[in-house]
């Protein structure tokens, strides 16, 4: 294949990339070199990523033998110690297999049974060249739990009887009819109204039905990879192969995912391969006594702002570890894809710190700035998902948390791209918070809002969102809080007056969400609880708050209280999600915006046959407002934010003056560059969505 053929797809999408074709070709060849090398040395990329089946501690149920394999360079001797051998360094030494620092031991049976009991503690002990013996958790450990004796974590040999191991019953749900992805971002531990750590079981039985009722087709699980510090929100990973024990057992997590699949909900893992905790006793840092085990050594291996360690993506064993980690979660837990955290930090040697991306293409193709080894890792990861997907006849999903706007990030590898399916539109929540923080309603710049919502790279799909967990954390404010924090605790009852603050808050909460949902991308994301205006921020137990769990919870009980107004926002979010279910909004081409009237504060646009009319005006309603529409015919309202069930004022009835169902008829008078037009009443702070019922 010629160089031009390697990148033809991305150049067709964006001819402005032509001056950077050399760098794009280099990325493709760098990936091909690694891919071929792994196929040659490991048999296939999938075999390479299946190392989790051999590395670490494993039981053979046929022979009742236990085998341990570890990659440990720069040490003199290695042993496995634990409860089973009274932590004796000399009892079970590993043998060095080859010159590549691979160590191995097979532990025979005792009285015909496993020599190491299920759930018993163990560690890897290593003698350094200095003669010092250090003890560390196994990097490949699939179960780590907090010690009952101190504040440290312990590796556990997770090997329950076969009869107790969860067996998946339901197939992975495929995307239906090319619908867009609708993601519910959630955290198992906070998914309870009680001031405690929520469990996998609680999430399975109490939260999944709510997500299903809302209409989301995907959940994104945060903080699953084990992290010793709960308040890190799961972003300081200590044990990459261990599903967090805080919430329950591995089998209970499997049941959660299988139940989601039963409901038609796909499950993404929020995977943190951008960095690792600096924790030595509980994590990977200084595992073998050096600072460069899987990481860059020296200052290059430290992220100063995150106070964490940075992986060396050019290292063979680092790639084995990380790619195996992905395949492990796909194979063992049946996750349906990944949201990759910290992608911007990985893509650039400067990690995006103090760097304001302007969109200049030189920022994305500068050898001094861009980390091509990290790009290669992403390409290998997506090739791996593709190969597994072919075997399972399933298409996995990947999302990049990237603020830089790296071109080709969300283009398939065979078209010259890096391979992601979606990137998060991180500029959108920033925009909304700035508007709510600094501007009065009359000062909103609709042109700027529409530009931010629609300004995305052609041919590269985006996930739009108004707010994520970032905005819910203490120190920031959710949209509901910015709108209603003065009266959130006093006037959210239907028995109290619908004050101007609450009325405005509920109205704008709906309008902001609908506009973002329908204009912002090819997918949509919401952080749990934000859809119903959760009344409190999120703060994990820590020294600064007296280790309190009061704010580390989501009060789903509020939507079940018929006397509270939270139900109105919940109902609207349900209706909004079903717009995509019924009319395939998100998967359709970008909307055509025919009107953004700064004086009236009215936005009108069409997407996939639906006509969206949104009036942000705080005081003025417009009778017989003329809007343009391309397709002639009879239109009906399919979503009205002013409906009583959404906390509105029901200013638009369901019938006309003659008692007939309310319908709107176009005339052939062109308007705002559309071939036809119609007249409609749009109340203040109201959104209407119309569907063509009959063509003329």
What is the rounded distance in angstroms from the CA atom of residue 142 to the CA atom of residue 325? 11
Pairing of strands 308-309, 686-695: unpaired
Residue 439 sits at φ, ψ, to 5 deg, of -120, 140
What is the rounded distance in angstroms from the CA atom of residue 420 to the CA atom of residue 399? 6
What's CA 565's distance to the chain center, in Å? 29
What is the rounded distance in angstroms from the CA atom of residue 303 to the CA atom of residue 314? 17
Q: Is 606 a catalytic residue?
A: no
List, in order, residues 6 or more apart from 44 with CB less than 8 Å away: 38, 387
Q: Which residues pair with 187 in a beta bridge?
A: 222
Which member of 252, 401, 467, 536 is catalytic? 401
Question: In 10-41, which positions are buried (b, 16+ CB within 10 angstroms) versus exposed (e)?
Answer: bbebbeebeebbebbbbbbeebeebbeebeee
What is the rounded distance in angstroms from the CA atom of residue 474 to the CA atom of residue 69? 43
Nearest CA among 249, 169, 168 for reference residue 201: 249
Which member of 341, 536, 573, 580 is catalytic? 341
CA gyration radius for the chain? 27
Pairing of strands 133-136, 121-127: antiparallel
Q: Is 270 a catalytic residue?
A: no
Nearest CA among 139, 58, 51, 57 for reference residue 319: 51
Nearest CA among 444, 441, 433 for reference residue 468: 433
Instruction: Look at the block and give the residue holding tokens 């137990």.
Output: 541
Alpha helices in 485-642 (DSSP H): 500-519, 566-583
Pairing of strands 422-424, 461-464: parallel
The Cα-based distances of 203 to 185, 208, 502 in angstroms read: 13, 6, 31
- Given a contact cutoff of 8 angstroms between Cβ atoms, the answer to whether 633 and 690 are in contact is no
What is the rounded distance in angstroms from the CA atom of residue 688 to the CA atom of residue 611? 8
- Report the side by side order of strands in the sheet with 302-303: 276-277, 308-309, 302-303
- Given a contact cutoff of 8 angstroms between Cβ atoms, the answer to whether 417 and 408 are in contact is yes
Nearest CA among 640, 464, 629, 490 for reference residue 568: 640
Pairing of strands 266-271, 337-340: parallel
Active-site residue set: 341, 401
């Amino acid at each position: 294949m010629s160089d031009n053929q390697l990148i033809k797809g991305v150049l067709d999408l964006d001819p402005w990339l032509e001056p950077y074709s050399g760098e794009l070709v280099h990325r493709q060849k760098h990936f091909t070199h690694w891919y071929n090398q792994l196929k040659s040395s490991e048999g296939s990329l999938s075999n390479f990523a299946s190392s989790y089946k051999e590395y670490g501690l494993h039981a053979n149920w046929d022979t009742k033998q236990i085998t341990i394999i570890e990659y440990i360079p720069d040490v003199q001797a290695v042993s496995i110690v634990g409860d089973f051998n009274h932590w004796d360094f000399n009892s079970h030494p590993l043998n060095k297999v080859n010159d590549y620092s691979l160590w191995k031991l097979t532990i025979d049976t005792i009285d015909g049974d496993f020599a190491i009991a299920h759930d018993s503690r163990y560690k890897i002990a290593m003698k350094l060249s200095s003669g010092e013996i250090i003890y560390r958790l196994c990097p490949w450990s699939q179960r780590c739990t907090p010690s009952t004796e101190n504040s440290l974590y312990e590796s556990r040999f997770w090997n329950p009887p076969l009869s107790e191991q969860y067996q998946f019953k339901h197939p992975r749900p495929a995307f239906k009819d090319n619908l867009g992805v609708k993601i519910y971002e959630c955290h198992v531990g906070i998914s309870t109204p009680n001031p405690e750590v929520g469990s996998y079981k609680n999430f399975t039985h109490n939260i999944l039905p709510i997500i299903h009722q809302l209409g989301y087709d995907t959940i994104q699980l945060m903080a699953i990879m084990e992290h010793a510090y709960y308040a890190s929100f799961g972003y300081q990973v200590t044990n990459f192969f261990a599903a967090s024990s805080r919430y329950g057992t591995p089998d209970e997590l499997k049941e959660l995912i299988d139940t989601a699949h039963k409901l038609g909900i796909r499950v993404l893992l929020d995977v943190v391969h951008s960095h690792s905790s600096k924790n030595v006793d509980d994590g990977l840092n200084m595992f073998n006594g050096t600072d460069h085990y899987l990481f860059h050594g020296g200052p290059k291996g430290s992220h100063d702002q995150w106070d964490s360690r940075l992986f060396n993506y050019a290292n063979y064993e680092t790639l084995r570890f990380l790619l195996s980690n992905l395949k492990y979660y796909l194979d063992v837990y049946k996750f349906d894809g990944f949201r990759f955290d910290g992608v911007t930090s990985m893509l650039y040697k400067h990690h995006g710190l103090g760097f304001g991306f302007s969109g200049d293409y030189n920022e994305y193709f500068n050898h001094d700035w861009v980390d091509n080894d990290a790009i290669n890792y992403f390409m290998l990861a997506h090739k791996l998902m593709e190969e597994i997907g072919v075997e399972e006849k399933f298409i996995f999903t990947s999302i990049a948390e990237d603020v830089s706007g790296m071109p080709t990030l969300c283009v398939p590898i065979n078209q010259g791209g890096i391979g992601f399916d979606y990137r998060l539109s991180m500029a959108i929540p920033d925009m909304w918070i700035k508007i709510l923080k600094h501007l009065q309603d009359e000062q909103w710049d609709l042109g700027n809002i529409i530009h931010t919502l629609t300004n995305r790279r052609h041919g590269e799909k985006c996930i739009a969102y108004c707010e994520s967990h970032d905005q819910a954390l203490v120190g920031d404010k959710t949209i509901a809080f910015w709108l209603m924090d003065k009266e959130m605790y006093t006037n959210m009852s239907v028995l109290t007056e619908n004050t101007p603050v609450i009325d405005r808050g509920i109205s704008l909460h709906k309008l902001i969400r609908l506009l973002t949902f329908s204009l912002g991308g090819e997918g949509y994301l919401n952080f749990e609880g934000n859809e119903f205006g959760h009344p409190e921020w999120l703060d994990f137990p820590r020294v600064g708050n007296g280790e309190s769990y009061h704010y580390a919870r989501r009060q789903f009980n509020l939507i079940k209280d018929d006397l509270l107004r939270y139900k109105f926002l919940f109902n609207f979010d349900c209706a909004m999600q079903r717009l995509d279910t019924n009319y395939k909004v998100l998967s359709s081409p970008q909307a055509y915006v025919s009107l953004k009237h700064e004086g009236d504060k009215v936005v009108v646009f069409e997407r996939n046959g639906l006509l969206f009319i949104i009036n942000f005006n705080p005081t003025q309603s417009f009778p017989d407002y003329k809007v343009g529409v391309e397709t002639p015919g009879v239109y009906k309202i399919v979503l009205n934010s002013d409906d009583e069930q959404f906390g509105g004022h029901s200013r638009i009835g369901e019938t006309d003056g003659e008692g007939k169902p309310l319908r709107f008829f176009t005339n052939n008078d062109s308007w705002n560059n559309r071939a036809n037009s119609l007249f409609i009443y749009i109340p203040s702070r109201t959104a209407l969505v119309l569907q063509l019922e009959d063509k003329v």
